[in-house]
Amino acid sequence: MGRRTCHYGGVASTSASAGVLLRHVRTGRARSRADLVALTGASRNTISARVDQLIAANLLEEGGRGWSTGGRPPTLLQFNSRAGCVLAVDLGVTSVDVAVTDLSAQILGTVGHPIDIADGPGAVLAEVDRLAQQVLADVGLTPGDVCAIGIGVPGPVEFPTGRPSHPPIMPGWHDYPVPSAFGRYECPVYVDNDVNVMALGEIGVAGSSQDVLVVKVGTGIGCGVIVDGRVYRGAQGSAGDIGHIHVAQPDGRTVVCRCGQENCLEAIAGGGALLRDAIAAGLPVGTVREVVRLAAEGNGVALELVRGAGRTIGTVLASLVNFFNPHRIVMTGGVAQAGVPLLAGIREAVYRRSMPLAARALEITVSEAPDLSGRVGAALMAIEEFLDEESVQALAR
């Protein structure tokens, strides 16, 4: 999601734009026109007119009456999440997942396929398109029903244009105009870094104006930074790149990272490192997923490996907690599926080394569906951006 600036001037500056109203209803902050009046401070008049517009546009529905608080009960408003659908693409290094969701990011159908990101944008995006057609057909929809497309890719992206920007692990993708590959859907295409996308998925429909870190532990380690409910990107768009932060090994060991540096966080505690250490410990595993499963089954060695990774990640997060003082940290990605042992290691390190003021109220959790957050986040990104543009159009009418 792009940094949303305050629109001064122009059509979008209205005190209660259609997009804002929609967001209030979608997030459940508002259930009636009266709620919207209270939330936005706009006049009943304005709200009424806008809500009528949104109902006419089929984006809102009236849904019966609510509880009375002494007088006439409110007419409940509902977001019509079936007003359209979006394509959500979670592009990984070795696989891609494509989902069709409704406008509430509820997954209607999904399909995955192994790929090699290094095959380049042409081949990979053709495969994505094939999967999209397949999953659309599965749920009985056509390309014409797609309102927007959201794509998360494993590398930095110049968000406004949807072009990857010097991605280290996506050879051949630099500056490729990803949206152009979906021209035939005739709808907006939003592309962002997969971690940013996941972060959106974890904070839910944007709006919780909080400061959150979403840490993805997969093969590598990355972090989505949410400042006041919005994705923070930094100067070059590389904020949250915590995988190559230097970590001191207590035993003085040295591990060389794929980036060439020594003792990077992800070289010690990432999924690749976990697999390597599990094999070295004699566990019968061939993938990270298997290590995580062993830990989930209670295998002592696997448990200790995961917990150790958590501790290492926790030492880095402890520093970031002091610096960033987030409300919440959410763990996601493949390794996060291990759940409890990872969390235990992280909490151990964070609570030991962060300042009490910042750590006391800090919530550290694991994503409820680490394997889905990429798709859900991509869908949410597409929905949020789409509805904002839509709202401007609604106003223009």
Which stretches of the chain bind DNA, using CB under 7 A? 9-10, 14-16, 32-35, 41-46, 48-49, 51-52, 65, 68-75, 395
Which of 318, 343, 350, 372 binds its own copies (CB under 8 A)? It is 318
**Residue 20 interacts with its own copies (CB under 8 A): yes or no:** yes
Are 192 and 239 in contact by the 8 Å Cβ rule? The answer is no
Is beta strand 328-332 parallel, antiparallel or unpaired with respect to 212-217?
parallel
Q: Of 134 and 238, which CB lies nearer to its own copies in the complex structure?
A: 238
Question: Minimum Å distance from CB 7 to DNA?
Answer: 12
Q: Of 83 and 227, which CB lies nearer to its own copies in the complex structure?
A: 227
Which of 193, 219, 312, 315 binds its own copies (CB under 8 A)? It is 315
The two three-digit tokens of residue 61, written as one number: 């529905």
Q: 73 contacts which partner out of its own copies, DNA, none, CB within 5 to 8 A by kind?
A: DNA
Q: 280 contacts which partner out of its own copies, DNA, none, CB within 5 to 8 A by kind?
A: none
- Alpha carbon separation from 392 to 82, 326, 389 (Å, rounded): 20, 33, 5
- For tokens 């599926």, the residue is 337
Question: Minimum Å distance from CB 293 to its own copies?
Answer: 31
Q: 228 contacts which partner out of its own copies, DNA, none, CB within 5 to 8 A by kind?
A: its own copies
Are 385 and 353 in contact by the 8 Å Cβ rule? The answer is no
CA distance 269 to 392: 45
Question: Minimum Å distance from CB 237 to its own copies?
Answer: 7
**Residue 193 interacts with its own copies (CB under 8 A): yes or no:** no
x/- letters, 259..288, toward its own copies (CB under 8 A): x-x---------------------------
- For tokens 């763990």, the residue is 331
- For tokens 């992800």, the residue is 266
Task: Say how far residue 66 (Cα) sits from the centre of its chain.
Answer: 33
Q: Give phi and psi for 101, each to the nearest 5.
A: -125, 165
The two three-digit tokens of residue 179, written as one number: 């949206």
Are 99 and 109 in contact by the 8 Å Cβ rule? The answer is yes
Binding segment for its own copies (CB under 8 A), chosen from 79-87, 95-103, 237-245, 388-396, is: 237-245
Q: 282 contacts which partner out of its own copies, DNA, none, CB within 5 to 8 A by kind?
A: none
Are 232 and 226 in contact by the 8 Å Cβ rule? The answer is yes
